[in-house]
Structure 1
Amino acid sequence: MRPTDPPRSRKPSPPVNAITIIVPIFGIILIGWAAAVAGLLSERVSDGLSEYVFAVAVPALIIVTLTRPGLDGEIAWSYWISYFGGAGLSWLVGSLIALRRTGIGRQGAILHGFAASQSNTIFVGVPMILQAYGDEGAFPLFLLLAVHLPIMMGFATFLLEAEGDKPLLVRLRSLALVLLKNPIFVSLLIGMALKVLHVTPGGPVKAILDAFAATASTCALVALGAGLRRYRVMFDLPGALVVALLKCVLHPLAVWVLAFHVFAMPPAYAGVATLFAAMPVGINSYLLAMRYKTETGLIAASVLVSTLIAPVTTIAWLTLLGHA
């Protein structure tokens, strides 16, 4: 079964110009970074803002969006295969390149590949894709977001602990507990449950959710910009650039080929998958490197380098997707 086309009664939104999308998003990131460098935002404030975005604002945005009347659609296997096929290719290439470098072990290579395929969805992906595709892209965006976190983090954790002494069931239970404590994952479950039950929040509940949701994009971008100050771009710059190019070029290229030229799906679905893949290296890759205490410097540099080149690569992808 292929995804259904948008209702005939609703006209598709005209494409938004790439510059119109890029400038506000990366402009706010730049302002957040400048405020941190100038001392207007301390590291403590930056961390608190990130926690607010992750635990409150984006979960509210997810619930509001998923329960919005008229937001509907279906996801075919081709949609999942297109995105995760591209992610798998980028992960494999990143890991193989890392294994050829001196001093990088198995876990380090896994983290290189994970960084090359893990998108910054919450801080950059959600605001940019909603700006580019509006209501047409909201449903495929949040459905992909729902499976992106457990699949990518789950697979990375499983690989990293494959040689550990913990039984498989123990590792799976630990992963389940991690996901159930994740506000993004829980809000996706709540939003989808409300949608299935045809329950739409109203009254004071809706007003509160709308108020939090309205802050999500701006706060996320400021938090990302302020957080970039702690990363060191000169730590293994060649290696970081390789990971950044795999993430911002190879990953979306593979998804674009699969979504537009191999499988059939509505253009908004294919565009969301491609743009989702074009996002810079996600913060989760750095958190995972910190947890396993390996390749932290290179992964941190990859986050920064990919974010710095993302304005250029994203304009190219938006132009290719028809947002010229």
Structure 2
Amino acid sequence: MLAALLVVLPIFGLVLVGFAARKGGIIDEAAGAGLSQFVFAIALPCLILDTLARGDLPIAEPWGYWASYFVALGLVWLATGLLARHAFGRIGVETVVAGFSSAQSNTVLIGVPLILKAFGDAAAVPVFLLVAVHLPITMSVATLLVEGRGASILAIVRKLVTHPIIIGIAIGAAIRPVADVVPEPAWRMTGMLADAAAPAALVAMGVALARYGFEAGWPLPIAITTAKLVVHPLLVWLLASFVFPVPPAWIPVAVMFAACPAGINVFLLAQTYRSGVALASSTVALSTALAVLTMAGWLALVAP
């Protein structure tokens, strides 16, 4: 419990900084929107590029491990999106935001530190196996779902190939074979921009929360939070334990990865497309606050 608390508190603290700065008039809404745009268009693509280009990929490709995680992710995403549409009357981008919120985990800020602290160096390989593909896959799917509504195939392709996240993925994959010959100053610059993504995004979310509060109401954020913190890890555990071949030592890592609260990228997506911002900020804040308890519970259940 203490380990989870020590990881989550600084994250929630940065959200509080943005919230207090907006309420105190230190920064305005335009500054928060600009900060979000910087993260989405520059810092986050640099983070993806750096991860794909220089990350250490294992020799084996554990398809059962990936299948357990991403099949569960897809089921939760689909169910939550349908719930938002049919039970809560949300449409368009908001349904994507709802589904994305229940599936996208806050891995860099919460998942990786907590999992490595709980399971030690033995968890490094299974953790990276998910970190390397988690953000590119989820952001690509979310972008495709948003951009694909009512647009022609040519228009979708044009928007995707010019999208900052897709560009980051493409450049990272292209540079990987020659990453060693890229000058070190270029990597340092990329790394500095990547390091700015998380804190800047959290502060920007605090600014948005000061504006929207819980305008989205409580029922839908509570439903999404339950799906994220309870249903998602439960499905991963069931699939990894009884359906797909997964090394037993890797199952707790996948479960804890899924048990993380909604990631900040949910808010960035909503802010970028100016739809579902209240829902995203409410869900990220609520799931992060409750994750202190739920992640401690999951850790007690799956720890060897």
TM-score class normalised by the smaller sequence: 0.7 to 0.9
Match of 1:283 among 254, 261, 267: 267
Pick one of 130, 149, 157 that aligns with 2:139: 149
Other-structure match for 2:17: 31
Match of 2:204 among 223, 226, 233: 223
Counterparts of 2:191 and 2:273 in 1: how far apart (Å)? 35
Question: 2:231 is aligned with what amino acid?
Answer: L
CA contact (8 A) 1:280 1:307 kept: yes
CA distance in 2, matches of 1:299, 1:77: 31
- State the AA in 2 paired with 1:230: R
**Which residue of structure 1 lines up, in the alignment, with residue 67 of structure 2?**
81
What residue identity is the alignment partner of 2:211? R
Structure 2: tracts of 5 or more residues without a match: 117-123
**1:31, 1:225 within 8 Å by CA — same for their partners in 2?**
yes
Query: Aligned-pair distance for 1:222?
Result: 2.0
- 2:109 corresponds to: 127
Q: Is the 8 A contact 1:115 1:285 kept in 2?
A: no
Pair 21,100 (structure 1): closer, same or farther in 2 beyond 3 Å: same
Name the CA distance, whole Å, in 2 between partners of 1:105 and 1:33: 26
Q: Does 1:114 align with 2:104?
A: no
Once the two structures are superposed, residues 128-175 of structure 1 have per-residue CA deviations (whole angstroms, 9 ceiling, x without a partner) of 2343456543353132222222224424655xx4xx5x6xxx2x3333
Q: Displacement, 1:51? A: 1.9
TM-score by length of 1: 0.71
Q: Distance in 2 between matches of 1:70 and 1:108?
A: 35
1:20 to 2:10 alignment: no
> Does the aligned pair in 2 maintain the 1:67–1:199 contact within 8 Å?
no
CA distance, structure 1, for counterparts of residue 273 and residue 191 of structure 2:
35
Query: For the residues of structure 1 that align with 2:301 and 2:261, how far apart are their CA atoms?
Result: 15
**Helix, strand or coil at the partner of 1:17:** helix
One-letter amino acid of the counterpart of residue 114, structure 1 = G
User: Which position in structure 2 is the counterpart of 1:190?
Assistant: 171
**Conserved 8 A contact 1:87-1:251:** yes
CA RMSD of aligned residues (A): 3.7
Alpha-carbon distance in 2 for matches of 1:289, 1:97: 21
SS at match of 1:117: helix
Percent sequence identity is 28
1:44 has 2:34 as partner = no
- For residues 156 and 53 of structure 1, do their structure 2 counterparts lie closer, same or farther at Cα, with a shift above 3 Å needed? closer
CA distance in 2, matches of 1:290, 1:69: 33
| 8 Å contact from structure 2 (residues 5, 292) kept in 1 | no
Residue 184 of structure 2 is matched in structure 1 by: 203
State the alpha-carbon separation in 2 of the partners of residues 214 and 108 from structure 1. 28
Structure 1: gaps of 5 or more residues: 1-15
Aligned to 2:121: none
More helix by share: 2
Measured in 2, the distance between the counterparts of 1:95 and 1:206 equals 38
Is 1:60 paired with 2:42? no
Shift of 1:299: 6.0
Query: How far does residue 63 in structure 1 lie from its aligned partner after superposition?
Result: 3.0
Q: Corresponding residue for 1:6?
A: none
Classify 1:313/1:178 alpha carbon distance in 2 versus 1 (closer, same or farther; 3 Å).
farther
Cα 1:223–1:268, aligned 2, differ >3 Å: closer, same or farther?
farther
**Alpha-carbon spacing, 1:299–1:65, altered in 2? closer, same or farther (3 Å):** closer
Distance 1:72 1:216 in 2: 26
Counterpart position of 1:12 = none
Q: Does structure 1 conserve the Cα–Cα contact (< 8 Å) formed by 2:72 and 2:235?
A: yes
Question: Equivalents in 2 of 1:311, 1:29: separation in Å?
Answer: 16
Q: Deviations over 1:282-307 (max 9, x none)?
A: 2266459856xxx7765664455444
- Which amino acid is the alignment partner of residue 139 of structure 2? L
Cα distance in 2 between the residues matched to 1:305 and 1:32: 16
Name the CA distance, whole Å, in 2 between partners of 1:200 and 1:24: 36
Match of 1:237 among 196, 199, 218: 218
Match of 2:130 in 1: 140
Q: Distance in 2 between matches of 1:27 and 1:105?
A: 30
CA shift in 2, pair 1:89/1:213, >3 Å: closer
1:69–1:200: structure 2 CA closer, same or farther, 3 Å change rule? farther
Distance 1:322 1:186 in 2: 38
